[in-house]
Amino acid sequence: MPSHRSAAASLLAAVWLCLGVALLGVGAAPPRPSSSCQRDCGGVDIPYPFGIVDSPGDSSSDCAMPGFGLTCHETDVNGGRRTPFYYEVEVVDVSLQQGQARMQNHISSYCYNATTQGMDASEWRLTGTPYRFADTNKFTVIGCQTLAYIEGAHTHEYTSGCVAMCRAESDGDARSALSNDSCSGIGCCQTAIPRGLQYEVEFDSGFNTTKIHNVSRCSYAVLMDASNFTFQTTYATSPRFNTTYGGVGVAPLVVDWVVGNQTCDAARKNSSSYACVSDHSECLDSLNGPAYICNCSKGFQGNPYLQDPEQGCKDINECTDLAKYPCSVPGTCKNLPGGFNCRCPKHTKGDAQNGTCERNHTLGLGEKFGI
């Protein structure tokens, strides 16, 4: 579950806003979600195993697998639009085919407070969830005098960290060392994180902005989708980074989700808990340890987690989408379960499905002689 800790460094007080345990979606027999379950929240499609529940962590609803319940409510941030949330984390998009979801991860910050002349920390974590972090994410740290750690939860051991510095003596100009588009330690640092990691941020109090607060008051740290990140010098010297990605204080994160805490081989043995219930679905082992996701078999599309013939994996009628499934002679296209047939024009041979039909020259010659 995500949670937030905000503390004045001098007080060493920690307030955990959210405690509790989200179980992996295992154990219970796959429920059949009722057709009355809400499947849309503010325009975001919420396919099973996800579902809308009344309160975060509610695992009694049959609309979602345990751990996959989202709440749907209005926020100021998105102009009053209804928005799906996993605890306090906004969910932007869910992909069944990729087993991924896009979220808005909270940016942790560490700021000099002129009133108290101390540092204010706002540190976030995202742990105990059915989500693992996709490889496209990087731990991103921004600041002129900062060291942020990414911790494995529970163990409280520093797993990795990132240092960002600027040439910024108390009277110097930190900006001179910064350059746009370059995140390599000056004002900005990014590092990949190990697979399967739980995520918890902590700033090192020995690296603080007390002496450079006129130039760079705040430092930031967040695990985010690095494919959408370009460093701007103003990120290190203003609050701009906090508002770059749509909302306030958030950045995009891609998570891999899994069902079950077993491999496909082990999971298949128990038909009452095996999640890939649709006919024409298949099981894919997770790269992040024992767990799996389901997908429709080749030539089928739909929701592999549903038995329902309407919503489960259904045959793709390739003949109705000639742009995607070319057929040299469209009239000959014949849809088959999981595929399709189509013929080459007369006197040619090859693969009609990818448009590589060619003249059979031997036959051409024979015809000539025949005439």
Residues in contact with ligand NAG by the rule CB under 6 A: 8-9, 23, 26-29, 97-99, 109, 111, 113, 115-116, 118-120, 170, 178-180, 205-206, 208, 210-211, 214, 218, 228, 232-233, 239, 242, 245-246, 248-249, 252, 261, 270, 272-273, 284, 295, 298, 349, 351, 354, 356, 360, 362-363
Cβ-based nearer residue to ligand NAG, 36 or 312:
312
CB nearer ligand NAG, residue 38 or residue 189: 189
Min dist CB 45 to ligand NAG, Å, is 17
By beta-carbon proximity to ligand NAG, the closer residue of 314 and 349 is 349
**Cα Rg of the chain (Å, integer):** 27
Amino acid at 15: V
Closest CA to 298 of 316, 312, 310: 316
> Min. distance of Cβ 87 from ligand NAG in angstroms?
16
- What minimum distance in Å lies between the beta carbon of 273 and ligand NAG? 4
Separation in Å, CA 225 to CA 85, 120, 201: 18, 26, 16
Cβ-based neighbour number of residue 241 at 10 Å: 25
Minimum CB separation from ligand NAG for residue 106, in Å? 8
Q: Which residue, 53 or 92, is less far from ligand NAG as judged by CB?
A: 92
H or E element in which residue 267 lies = helix 264-268
Residue 299 CB neighbour total at 10 angstroms = 17
Q: Which is nearer to ligand NAG, 197 or 357 (CB)?
A: 357
Query: 118 or 152: whose CB is closer to ligand NAG?
Result: 118
**Toward ligand NAG, which CB reaches closer, 206 or 331?**
206
Q: Quick one: CA dihedral 165, 167, 169, 175, positive or negative?
A: negative
Do residues 132 and 286 make contact, with C-beta atoms less than 8 angstroms apart? yes
Which amino acid, 368? K
Angstrom CA distances, 158 to 14, 54, 162, 322, stand at: 18, 36, 11, 54
Q: Cβ of residue 190: shortest distance to ligand NAG, in angstroms?
A: 16
Q: Which residue is nearest to ligand NAG (CB)?
A: 249
Contact 341, 334 (CB under 8 A): yes
Task: Count the Cβ atoms, other than its own, within 10 Å of residue 204.
Answer: 14
Of the candidates 132, 108, 42, 106, which has an alpha carbon nearest to the alpha carbon of residue 80? 42
**Minimum separation from the CB atom of position 166 to ligand NAG (A):** 11
Smallest separation (angstroms) from ligand NAG to the CB of 38: 25
